[in-house]
Amino acid sequence: MADNTNACVSVETPPEQTLYADFLFWGCWGGLALMALTYILYVTGLMTPHVPMDKIVQLWSQPVKVYLEQGNVPVGWGWATLLAKGDFLNFLGIALLAGLTIVAYIPLIPAFLKKKDTSFAIIALLEVIVLTIAASGIVGSGGH
């Protein structure tokens, strides 16, 4: 028989953990809403695409290199120059979701410093720096 004497003990969640979770929660919903909105703008034709829909259908079965060449699509962060086009505006929501961890770590730095928890503040700062450098593509990781 299990001992349930500690079953009702309340556990206090650290405020910085709640702050991080709130950023992730609202950021995820915001990113999903942005993706839905930009997709609607794209499929309804309210924003013209960079690669026309009939050409997309032809390029679906091709290797990505063929799509990039025939669609005149930039690689890496070059997509950001095409945000006025419906098919690339969709990337904003994806970029928001992908960068959400970085954004959520930023407010942790002052929160940890306020608690005089310098080691965790440094770890959070280093996490922001490392993830930002990795996302930038400047280290040539090939992720873009």
Map out the domains of the chain as residue ranges: 17-99, 106-136
Q: What token pair was written down for 104?
A: 């959520």
Per-residue pLDDT at 6? 61
- pLDDT recorded at residue 119: 96
Q: Which residues of the chain have pLDDT under 50?
A: 143-144
**Torsion angle (degrees, nearest 10) of CA 81, 78, 100, 91:** 70
pLDDT value for 9: 78
64 contact partners, CB below 8 Å, separation of at least 6 = none
Rounded Cα–Cα distance for residues 58 and 45 (Å): 19
Q: What is the pLDDT of residue 144?
A: 46
| Distance set, CA 46 to CA 38, 60, 123 (Å) | 10, 23, 44
- Contact predicate 16/108, CB 8 Å: yes
Tokens for 86? 């419906």
